[in-house]
């Protein structure tokens, strides 16, 4: 995540707004947004632009997020947002694994174009959760499972994102458990497409097994568009 933030900061150090999109929602959920005026981080508070948030949300099916319902896909990104973009107003959403995620990306693009502002969108989503801790071990051995996650399951999802195939990305995650928050990734890809961006790049891919070998592990990737 830090590498993605750093790369984006080098290319667009002072965007007009920063939008973080998290997930951990099913296909039956609406889009959620944070209604509070600020978020607390160890580095200081982040200000949320509620005017822009509501404008984006009003175009789609949404619900205000419960501030007492923590979600780590957003929370772990707040300190990085404060470090790299300390004075940039924030928008924060959670996207479900459905076509609503694509509508969220499109609505963000409409808002950026309407106001002629730069909105930097960052999606937060883990990839395959594999092993007994997650009740998901479709391969016969740990070695086979690790290879399958790296070379097939995660790779397919990453390739779909880089090919701007948002709907197929959502379907793959639901059928193959290739992401815990594919809606966030699909929303970011949808935003990039709607803004006329034609190319994406994989910065880095790894798994938690590469750092700390264990029967249960998670895949991670950093993509930029």
Q: CATH code at 108? A: 3.40.830.10
| Helix residue ranges per DSSP H, 12-117 | 50-57, 72-75, 78-84, 99-115
Predicted confidence at residue 96, as pLDDT, reads: 95
Domain contains 157: no
Q: What is the pTM of this model?
A: 0.93
Range of the domain at 103: 2-125+180-206+220-224
Looking at residue 44, its pLDDT comes to: 94
Q: Is residue 213 part of a domain?
A: no
Low-confidence ranges of the chain (pLDDT < 70): 65-70
Q: Which residues, in sequence order, are CB contacts of 192 under 8 Å at separation 6+?
A: 105, 121, 164, 200, 225
- 7 occurs within a structural domain: yes
List b or e across 200-211, with b for residues whose CB sees 16 or more CB atoms inside 10 angstroms.
Answer: beeeebebbbee
Q: Is residue 114 part of a domain?
A: yes
């Amino acid at each position: 995540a830090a590498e993605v933030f750093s790369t984006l900061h080098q290319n667009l150090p002072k965007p007009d707004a920063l939008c973080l999109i998290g997930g951990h929602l099913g296909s039956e959920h609406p889009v959620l947004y944070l209604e509070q005026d600020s978020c607390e981080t160890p580095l200081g508070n982040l200000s949320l632009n509620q005017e822009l948030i509501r404008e984006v949300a009003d175009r789609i099916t949404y619900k205000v997020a419960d501030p007492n319902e923590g979600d780590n896909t957003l929370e772990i990104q707040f300190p990085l947002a404060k470090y790299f973009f300390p004075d940039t107003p924030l928008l924060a959403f959670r996207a479900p694994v459905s076509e609503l995620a694509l509508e969220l990306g499109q609505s963000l693009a409409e808002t950026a174009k309407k106001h002629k502002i730069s909105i930097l969108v960052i999606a937060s989503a883990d990839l395959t959760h594999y092993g007994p801790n997650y009740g998901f071990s479709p391969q016969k051995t740990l070695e086979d499972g690790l290879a399958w996650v790296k070379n097939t399951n995660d790779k397919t999802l990453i390739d779909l994102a880089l090919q701007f195939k948002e709907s197929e990305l959502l379907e793959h995650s639901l059928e193959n458990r290739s992401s815990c928050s594919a809606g966030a990734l699909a929303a970011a890809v949808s935003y990039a497409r709607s803004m006329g961006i034609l190319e994406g790049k994989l910065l880095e891919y790894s798994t938690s097994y590469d750092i700390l070998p264990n029967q249960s592990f998670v895949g991670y990737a950093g993509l930029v568009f």
